């Protein structure tokens, strides 16, 4: 990862630490209203209303799951139909070859399997995980972001980023602590 | 708050419950629940249970080795009972697993937040129970190394599995169920593994949890997608779990053997699975509460009470199934079905049937008494009795029908051999061993959902103690 660190600025962002989830939601709202674009909030549990406060929305996962399901369904039914009609047709007492009601259970299972795998993989892919190194791990006290503290980080790649003004802005939000995050 | 006062009072009446006892903060929740894992010295009971599990696990390995070297003739199965303990135990284990998915998926979709304290170890139970279950059909093939034949892959034989058979549906249902349960469980664990990573002191432990946490930082954007994915997985797990036990019941219902060929089987099997599974959650949850008294604030008497209520409800559905089986036998007017009803009541296995009615039909009725629903020793005994009862149910369905079907000349009597016993008891050891290893390595209670619950409590009952009392009064 060293070559990435050389090219990017030394500072990743400025982080503010809170001890209350509601304060974090309020801070995220203010950061958005103040016109910051590249910022993120970190919390030890999902906070409802936080993504909305940041005006963040992403509906790709449900769509991917949907198309994954369609794919699984077609694969499941198609494969069984291909076996029954083309590759290995078996005449059972003159009954029709395409006995579709008996193909439903496996079609259903294939639909669920592919939907689940797609959802699982796309969650990681869209979140950029696994990511062993994250500059946020350098932030002061950040080990508590998975336990009992709430963080808001305004990143240097934000067009409005200015070290002094961002620090002042974050201090005005009632944070416990405001500190720099080295990249 | 957006909700007006009338609505919120209704809400309080509907959801009056605070599912965390005692005074807790985000800090204490993380400390207590991660402490169970990171404590360098687990309680002595843990060593005893793990050791016992390991010893019995070796009985399973012995039984499997002997079976594979000798052949399935070491079991008591023989015509007319071509499958017996292997299918009984397969269905029993799969059923036990179903409570985990019910708790984690269906109760999540119904926004039953009390599920948050019990879903993690129930999900672990699901995975381990499905492992035990999967062993049986694989071993019954007699040549488990050719288990790949069960799956459709391009092979030199130029053949495909028969996808019109319920047994082949089982292969797909169980393998899909195992995969999805594992993904769901792992996804739920990631934020908690990050907590363990951040709390552990030893660099090696930090490294292992660090790798397993996939670099989770708890970003709001990540949480957003995470919850989407988690809810979708829950949404597909709910019909999946119903389909799995439905397909398991098709193994019987599609056949024409007396006592099997009924349409009540799918719902009755699913209810039975949930019944057995909740019993197993209690069988393990109650000892866990006494081994780790610090988790009693999270698995409260209220949880025990509600689990007992679910046991009662599903038990009544199962009991209804037994009554309907009798009714179908009579109403069909079919000689063989009538003969089966007669044989259930007065045949060679009649005591199994009476024991079944006692364990699943009569004894759980004690749950109508509110005091007993919170009585830990009673619940433990109840959970064991229900476990036995659900095993008996499968016994009553399988050998009883097979030894008394159409032709008197093909009647028989089935009894297990010592190797049947060794494998069955061995799988229990396997299950216990895996569960106790899990307790030591991963958090038994979902930590981040406990924090979420605490936040909801704060919003619902307020931060101060006074507000909390007011809410109780409103209730």
Write the DSSP string, B159-206: ----TTSHHHHHHHHHHHHHHHHHHHHHHHHHHHHHHHHHH--SHHHH
Tell me, what's the pLDDT at B429?
94
In terms of C-beta density within 10 A (0-12 exposed, 13-18 middle, 19 or more buried), how is residue B274 classed? buried
Q: Alpha-carbon dihedral of residues A24, A30, A35, A39, nearest 10 degrees?
A: -10
Q: Which residues of B touch A54 (CB under 8 A)?
A: 220-221
- Sorted by where each begins, the domain ranges of chain A are 2-55+135-182, 60-127
* Longest Cα–Cα distance in chain B: 77
In terms of C-beta density within 10 A (0-12 exposed, 13-18 middle, 19 or more buried), how is residue A95 classed? exposed
Cβ count within 10 A of residue A141: 13
Q: Which residues of B touch A123 (CB under 8 A)?
A: 187, 225-226, 228-229
The structure tokens listed for A163 are 């070290």
Tell me, what's the pLDDT at B117?
83
Rounded Cα distance between B244 and B250, Å, is 10
Write the DSSP string, B348-403: TTHHHHHHHIIIIIIGGGGGGSHHHHT-HHHHHHHHHHHHHHHHHHHHHHHHHHHT
Q: How far is A35 from chain B (nearest CA, A)?
A: 18
Tell me, what's the pLDDT at B12?
46
Q: A45 and B452 in contact by Cβ < 8 A?
A: yes
3-state SS, residue B20:
coil
Tell me, what's the pLDDT at B105?
84
3-state SS, residue A16:
strand
Q: B221 and A58 in contact by Cβ < 8 A?
A: yes
Q: Touching check for A176 and chain B: CB below 8 Å?
A: no
Rounded Cα distance between B306 and A135, Å, is 45
Q: Does domain B23-459 have CATH number 1.20.1630.10?
A: yes
Tell me, what's the pLDDT at A6?
52
Which segments of B15-159 does DSSP mark as H helices, in order? 26-38, 44-70, 85-101, 107-109, 119-140
Q: B243 and A41 in contact by Cβ < 8 A?
A: no
* Interface residue of B190, B193, B212, B220 to substitute, partner A, most A CBs within 10 Å: B220
Q: A120 and B229 in contact by Cβ < 8 A?
A: yes
Q: Touching check for B108 and chain A: CB below 8 Å?
A: no
Q: Are strands A150-155 and A39-42 parallel, antiparallel or unpaired?
A: antiparallel
Residue A7 has pLDDT above 70, yes or no: no
Rounded Cα distance between A24 and B460, Å, is 19
Tell me, what's the pLDDT at A9?
55
Please, what are the averages of pLDDT over each run of 10 residues along chain B (475 residues)? 47 59 81 83 89 94 92 87 89 88 83 83 91 91 88 86 90 92 91 90 88 88 91 91 91 88 87 89 89 85 88 92 89 88 89 92 91 90 93 90 87 89 93 92 88 80 49 41
In terms of C-beta density within 10 A (0-12 exposed, 13-18 middle, 19 or more buried), how is residue B308 classed? buried
The structure tokens listed for B418 are 């010592």
Q: Which A residues in the span 141-170 are in contact with B, Cβ-Cβ below 8 Å?
A: 142-148
- Nearest Cβ partner for B214 among A83, A88, A130: A130
Contacts by B413-421 with C-beta closer than 8 Å and gap 24+? B413/B348, B414/B76, B414/B77, B414/B81, B414/B84, B415/B76, B416/B75, B416/B76, B416/B84, B416/B85, B417/B74, B417/B75, B417/B76, B419/B63, B419/B66, B419/B67, B419/B74, B419/B75, B420/B75, B420/B76, B420/B84, B420/B85
Please name which of B45, B62, B51, B49 lies closest in space to residue B426, comparing C-alpha atoms.
Answer: B62
Please name which of B266, B274, B265, B248 lies closest in space to residue B328, comparing C-alpha atoms.
Answer: B265
- Nearest Cβ partner for B187 among A120, A131, A146: A120
Cα atoms in the Cβ-side hemisphere of radius 13 Å centred on B190:
26
**Which residues lie below 8 Å from residue A161, measured CB to CB, with a gap of 6+?**
A13, A38, A154, A155
A148 pLDDT band (50/70/90 cuts)? confident
Cα atoms in the Cβ-side hemisphere of radius 13 Å centred on A57:
4
Q: What are phi and psi of A44, to 5 degrees?
A: -75, -10
Q: Touching check for B157 and chain A: CB below 8 Å?
A: no
Q: B214 and A131 in contact by Cβ < 8 A?
A: yes
Please name which of B119, B33, B116 lies closest in space to residue B292, comparing C-alpha atoms.
Answer: B33
Phi-psi region of B215 (alpha: psi -120 to 50; beta: other; left: phi over 0): left
Tell me, what's the pLDDT at A157?
85
Tell me, what's the pLDDT at B465?
43
**Angle between the B301-332 and B265-291 helix axes, to the nearest 10 degrees?**
160
Residue range A39-51, pLDDT digits in tens: 888 999 888 888 8
Tell me, what's the pLDDT at B176?
93
Q: A129 and B210 in contact by Cβ < 8 A?
A: no
Bridge partner list, B81: B78
**Which residues lie below 8 Å from residue B412, measured CB to CB, with a gap of 6+?**
B78, B79, B80, B81, B402, B403
Q: Touching check for B250 and chain A: CB below 8 Å?
A: yes
Q: What are phi and psi of A152, to 5 degrees?
A: -130, 125
Cβ count within 10 A of residue B116: 26
Q: Which residues of A touch B166 (CB under 8 A)?
A: 105
Which stretch of DSSP H or E encloses residue A11? strand A11-18
Q: A137 and B217 in contact by Cβ < 8 A?
A: yes
């Amino acid at each position: 990862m060293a070559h990435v660190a050389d090219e990017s600025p030394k500072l990743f962002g400025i982080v503010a630490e809170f001890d209350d989830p509601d304060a974090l939601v309020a801070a995220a709202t203010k950061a958005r209203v103040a016109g910051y674009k590249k910022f993120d909030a970190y919390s030890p549990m999902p906070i409802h209303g936080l993504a909305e406060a940041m005006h963040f929305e992403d509906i790709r996962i449900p769509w991917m799951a949907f198309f994954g399901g369609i794919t699984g369904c077609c694969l499941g039914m198609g494969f069984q139909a291909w076996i029954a009609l083309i590759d290995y047709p078996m005449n059972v007492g003159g009954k029709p070859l395409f006995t579709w009601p008996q193909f439903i259970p496996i079609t259903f299972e294939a639909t669920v399997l592919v939907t689940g795998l797609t959802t699982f993989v796309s969650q990681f892919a869209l979140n950029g995980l696994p990511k062993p190194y994250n500059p946020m791990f350098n932030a002061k006290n950040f080990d508590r972001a998975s336990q009992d503290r709430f963080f808001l980080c305004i990143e240097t790649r934000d067009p409005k980023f200015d070290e002094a003004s961002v620090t002042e802005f974050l201090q005005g939000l009632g944070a416990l602590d405001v500190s720099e995050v080295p990249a | 708050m957006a909700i007006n006062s009338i609505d919120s009072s209704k809400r309080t009446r509907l959801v009056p419950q605070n599912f965390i006892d005692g005074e807790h903060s985000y800090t204490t929740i993380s400390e207590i629940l991660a402490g169970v894992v990171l404590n360098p010295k687990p309680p002595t009971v843990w060593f005893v249970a793990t050791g016992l599990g390991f010893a019995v696990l070796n009985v399973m390995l012995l039984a499997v080795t002997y079976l594979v070297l000798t052949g399935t003739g070491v079991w008591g199965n023989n015509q007319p009972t071509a499958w017996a303990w292997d299918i009984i135990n397969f269905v029993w284990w799969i059923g036990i697993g179903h409570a985990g998915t019910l708790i984690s998926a269906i109760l999540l979709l119904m926004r039953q937040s009390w599920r948050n304290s019990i879903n993690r170890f129930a999900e672990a139970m699901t995975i381990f129970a499905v492992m035990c279950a999967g062993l049986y059909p694989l071993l019954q093939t007699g040549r488990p190394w050719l288990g790949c034949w069960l799956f459709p892959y391009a092979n030199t034989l130029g053949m495909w599995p028969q996808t019109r058979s319920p047994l082949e549906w089982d292969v797909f249902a169980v393998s899909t169920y195992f995969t999805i349960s594992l993904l769901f469980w792992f996804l739920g664990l990631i934020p908690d593994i990050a907590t363990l990573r951040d709390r552990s002191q030893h660099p090696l432990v930090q490294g292992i949890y660090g790798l397993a946490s996939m670099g989770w930082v708890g970003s709001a954007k990540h949480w957003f997608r995470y919850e989407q994915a988690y809810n979708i997985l829950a949404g597909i797990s709910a019909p999946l779990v119903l389909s799995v036990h439905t397909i398991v019941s098709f193994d019987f219902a599609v056949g024409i053997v007396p006592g099997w060929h009924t349409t009540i089987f799918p719902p009755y099997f699913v209810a039975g699975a949930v019944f057995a599974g909740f019993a197993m959650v209690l069988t393990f949850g109650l000892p866990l509460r006494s081994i780790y008294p610090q988790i009693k604030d999270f698995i409260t008497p209220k949880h025990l009470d509600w689990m007992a209520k679910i046991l009662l409800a599903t038990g009544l559905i199962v009991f209804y199934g037994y009554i309907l089986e009798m009714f179908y036998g009579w109403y069909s007017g079919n000689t063989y079905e009538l003969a089966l009803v007669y044989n259930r009541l007065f045949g060679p296995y009649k005591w199994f049937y009476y024991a079944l009615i006692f364990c699943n039909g009569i004894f759980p009725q004690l749950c109508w008494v509110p005091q007993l629903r919170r009585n830990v020793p009673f619940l433990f005994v109840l959970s064991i009795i229900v476990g036995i009862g659900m095993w008996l149910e499968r016994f009553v369905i399988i050998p009883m029908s097979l030894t008394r079907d159409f032709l008197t000349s093909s009647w028989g009597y089935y009894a297990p051999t010592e190797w049947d016993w060794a494998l069955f008891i061995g799988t229990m050891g396997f299950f216990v061993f895996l569960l106790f290893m899990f307790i030591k390595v991963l958090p038994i209670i979902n930590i981040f959902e406990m924090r979420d619950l605490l936040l909801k409590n704060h919003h619902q009952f307020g931060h101060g103690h006074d507000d909390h009392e007011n809410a109780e009064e409103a209730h």
